[in-house]
Structure 1
Amino acid sequence: MNVLAAWELGGNWGHVARDLPVLRRLQAMGHDVRYAARDATIAASLCASIGIPCVTAPHGAAIRRMPRGLAGYGAILFADGFGDAEILGQRLAGWMRLFAEHRIDVVLADYAPAALLAARMYGIPSVAVGSGFEIPPDSVELPSFLTDADRDAPARRFSEGLVLFNVNRVLRALGAAPLERLAQVFQGARNVLTTVAELDHCGARPDATYAGPLQDLPGGVAAHWKGTTGPRVLVYLRGVDPVVGHVLRALDAIGAEVIAVLPDVARRPDVRAEIQVFRQPVRFDGLIETADLVIASGSGTVTTASIAGVPVLVLPGNAEQAMLARRVTQTGAGMSVDGGTAATVLDAIDRLLRDASFRTGARALAAKYTGLRMESAVQTVIDEIHNVSSHHS
């Protein structure tokens, strides 16, 4: 079986960390696998280290950072070229050329809406894998990113209708059946959500396949706790905004032992030696489970910590992360600080370390999902790949 993993939207290490364990397992089973990645600079060296061919995913428009106030999925797709028929048509054609060149049997789509559309047109099955945000519910009206959904509804519906009109215009021109609703852009023949119901950005879905967190980067650096007397805090944050500095200074002030993964920080902050700072990927196995607190923003790390029974402080930097932060707060396993000051960040860290209710909430979540591990998540994705392949042949 020839499998192509496709990654189009989003950035950083999370998508590669989710895709490569699946491709590596498929490769070990004797399947032919390759990776078409949005950011080949991130993926290529990691793919090369484990012998997986990697190419740049077909694209048409520059992918812009999602603004904090963005209201809905229509705006994301519009900014990614779905609002331009010529760009979208070229992108779909690029994917179909890849399918033909490598005789692809199944597409594994990681936040790759154009690849999913192309697979549908080309007549090959697909499995969509991602968070609850990356695979929204297949509903007539897509969820709002904002808490005041009624206020943004007119603009959101307009953008979604405009993108759907344009998508169907392209599909008809290429001889394919039109879509009934925009949500279908994100749907594979099967969907696997790499989270749990309580942390689904869009709310729990009774019919969803929740595999739990899936992330493992080959070649990640091994880090170890030094065994000092302070609380153990694992930090994984992107960006260089003031909040990162607030976090490190707060942890320095309370004498915490810290492992901080900060890929975007140019130089080591002026903090105690007990604060270990890494710019490269770090292997989290054995670290998260033994931490007293995890400070992060991304779905993979937050979900992994939560079902390991560790309280989480979420520091959202965009609408997607804000949606996740609200779910974490609702579980009682953590809290969030949005755009906080040094004082609010320090207060949140102090509360999470001192208030036993957060640890109780996290342990309750962990007890519910004791069987979910990275290996089981990989197997869930592979089972779905085999299912769609067998039904198609």
Structure 2
Amino acid sequence: MLSYDSSRRLGPERIPTATWGEFLGDSGFSSVSRIREIVAWWRLVLSSRDVKLVLADYAPLAMFAARSLGIKSIATGTGYGLPPPNMLEFPVLSQDATIRLHDEKVLVENLNTVADEIGMPRLASFPELYRADLQLVRTLPFLDPYEEVRENATYLPPVTDISPVLAQGGEEVFVYFSTIEFNDPGVVEALANLPLPRRGYLPAPPPGVAERLIQSGMILEDRPVPVSKIAERSRILLNAGQHGILCLGLYAGLPQVCLFQHREQLFHAQRAADQGVARVVHPREREERNLVTIIMETYHDAAMREKAHQIARQLKAEMNVSPDLMLRNAIAPIRTELLKTSL
């Protein structure tokens, strides 16, 4: 499978990833032999098992292989990770990262070399790698970096566990950190010394972190907390800007403080901040005392709380059927077509 090479994105001379095409270049698309190997594996798996439909999430070469075999595909994912195929090239997503290390003409030619070998039509552009019979874009339009260039886009709810209630009068700070967030200096002590009621779910804290936080009086849950409970008990959310928890908070009407770990999280957190419902905390701002100040300011920000409620009410009003029904309606045409061909 594809593997990410971060060697040129780390250290003092690092160059941030400017486009999704740059990310793909780092992930193996700069190597014809690697593409050839993976596509061959997918073609063997799909043909040997008589597959009729591929549902792909962050698996563009699975879709590429399916197209080569005439198999239908559905691509699903967030807007950031599911680019539209109609673009001529992948656009720069942030003006603070504009240097490209890969030539997309070379990357698409690598794909087309393999396409020629297996007898499938050549791609006109690198983004065409994401062409599918159906794209299920599971995000909010303002979190989609490609909203303006998507053709006939239908946005599905990004999460299905949507709080039935808006946040009302909760006093807790709810924390969800999944992996490396505690690598930033000061974060553990800021949480431990925060003079507010705290609760969190930390799936994989580093050694000693859970013990330090529990000792400080923070409640740590041993399993995911229902979003309705988070909405009832919390005043703000503290997270890394992960797409899922960010969207749960948006639907629940909770202001958020986001300590992003990579550029996708930064993008989503910044878009929420642009809506007036989040604070983005950059690495240089994560010293203990400063981080405590930012969290306290967000906690007491009545204007941000009202804006979060306003957006949550708007999101709920726009969802006139259940998320499950919206998904079933979206896939109904391709499902009907497949059922007809199987009879």
> TM-score category by the smaller chain?
0.7 to 0.9
Q: Are 2:33 and 1:100 aligned?
A: no
User: Greater shift after overlay, 357-366 or 281-290?
Assistant: 281-290
Q: Are 2:30 and 1:83 aligned?
A: yes
Instruction: Output the CA distance in 2 between the equivalents of 1:134 and 1:159.
Output: 20
Q: Which residue of 1 aligns with 2:311?
A: 365
Q: Which residue of 2 aligns with 1:285?
A: 227
Instruction: Output the CA distance in 2 between the equivalents of 1:140 and 1:310.
Output: 38
The aligned amino acid for 2:172 is: R
Residues 96 and 336 (structure 1), Cα distance of their counterparts in 2 relative to 1, 3 Å cut: same
Q: Which residue of 2 aligns with 1:7?
A: none
The aligned amino acid for 2:231 is: E
Task: Give the CA deviation at 1:265.
Answer: 2.2
Q: Which residue of 2 aligns with 1:19?
A: none
Bigger Cα Rg: 2
Identity of aligned residues (%): 22
Q: Which residue of 2 aligns with 1:259?
A: 200
Describe the SS at the equivalent of 1:347: helix
Q: State the Cα deviation string for residues 161-208 of structure 1 (Å, max 9, x = none).
A: 221110111111110001111112123221122211122244565732
- Aligned-residue CA RMSD (Å): 2.8
Residues 195 and 288 (structure 1), Cα distance of their counterparts in 2 relative to 1, 3 Å cut: farther
Tell me which of 265, 269, 274 is aligned to 1:330. 274
Q: Which residue of 2 aligns with 1:210?
A: 155
Residues 247 and 324 (structure 1), Cα distance of their counterparts in 2 relative to 1, 3 Å cut: farther
Equivalent pair of 1:194/1:377 in contact (CA under 8 Å): no
Describe the SS at the equivalent of 1:144: coil
User: Greater shift after overlay, 381-390 or 91-100?
Assistant: 381-390
Describe the SS at the equivalent of 1:129: strand
Instruction: Output the CA distance in 2 between the equivalents of 1:249 and 1:86.
Output: 48
Instruction: Output the CA distance in 2 between the equivalents of 1:329 and 1:147.
Output: 17
Equivalent pair of 2:190/2:289 in contact (CA under 8 Å): no
Equivalent pair of 2:160/2:324 in contact (CA under 8 Å): no
Q: Which residue of 2 aligns with 1:384?
A: 330
Q: Which residue of 2 aligns with 1:232?
A: 172
Describe the SS at the equivalent of 2:95: coil
The aligned amino acid for 1:144 is: V
Once the two structures are superposed, the pairs formed by residues 108-257 of structure 1 within 5 Å of their partners are 108-138=55-85, 139-148=87-96, 151-152=98-99, 155=100, 158-203=102-147, 207-214=152-159, 231-237=171-177, 238-243=179-184, 246=187, 249-250=190-191, 252-257=193-198
Describe the SS at the equivalent of 1:307: helix
Residues 376 and 118 (structure 1), Cα distance of their counterparts in 2 relative to 1, 3 Å cut: farther
Instruction: Output the CA distance in 2 between the equivalents of 1:282 and 1:249.
Output: 23
Task: Give the CA deviation at 1:277.
Answer: 3.0
Q: Which residue of 2 aligns with 1:6?
A: none
Equivalent pair of 1:63/1:79 in contact (CA under 8 Å): yes
Equivalent pair of 1:305/1:311 in contact (CA under 8 Å): yes
Instruction: Output the CA distance in 1 between the equivalents of 2:186 and 2:318.
Output: 34
Instruction: Output the CA distance in 1 between the equivalents of 2:271 and 2:116.
Output: 39
Structure with more contact order per residue of length (Cα contacts < 8 Å, sep ≥ 6): 1
Q: State the Cα deviation string for residues 342-375 of structure 1 (Å, max 9, x = none).
A: 23322221121111121122112111121678x9
Instruction: Output the CA distance in 1 between the equivalents of 2:62 and 2:326.
Output: 21
Instruction: Output the CA distance in 2 between the equivalents of 1:86 and 1:361.
Output: 51
Q: State the Cα deviation string for residues 145-176 of structure 1 (Å, max 9, x = none).
A: 33246x43xx26x4322211101111111100
The aligned amino acid for 1:233 is: V
Poorly superposed stretches of 4+, deviation over 6 Å: none
Instruction: Output the CA distance in 2 between the equivalents of 1:131 and 1:108.
Output: 14
Instruction: Output the CA distance in 1 between the equivalents of 2:138 and 2:6.
Output: 22
> How many residues matched?
316
Instruction: Output the CA distance in 1 between the equivalents of 2:223 and 2:94.
Output: 31
Task: Give the CA deviation at 1:253.
Answer: 2.4
Instruction: Output the CA distance in 1 between the equivalents of 2:33 and 2:151.
Output: 38
Instruction: Output the CA distance in 1 between the equivalents of 2:6 and 2:159.
Output: 24
Equivalent pair of 1:112/1:186 in contact (CA under 8 Å): no
Equivalent pair of 2:255/2:278 in contact (CA under 8 Å): yes
Structure 1 length-normalised TM: 0.72
Equivalent pair of 1:199/1:303 in contact (CA under 8 Å): no
Q: Which residue of 2 aligns with 1:356?
A: 302
Residues 141 and 169 (structure 1), Cα distance of their counterparts in 2 relative to 1, 3 Å cut: same
Note the residue ranges of structure 2 that are not aligned, 5 or more in a row.
11-15, 162-168
Describe the SS at the equivalent of 1:145: coil
Structure 2 length-normalised TM: 0.82
Note the residue ranges of structure 1 that are not aligned, 5 or more in a row.
1-58, 217-228
Instruction: Output the CA distance in 2 between the equivalents of 1:201 and 1:264.
Output: 31
Residues 249 and 264 (structure 1), Cα distance of their counterparts in 2 relative to 1, 3 Å cut: same
Residues 247 and 308 (structure 1), Cα distance of their counterparts in 2 relative to 1, 3 Å cut: farther
Instruction: Output the CA distance in 1 between the equivalents of 2:78 and 2:305.
Output: 24
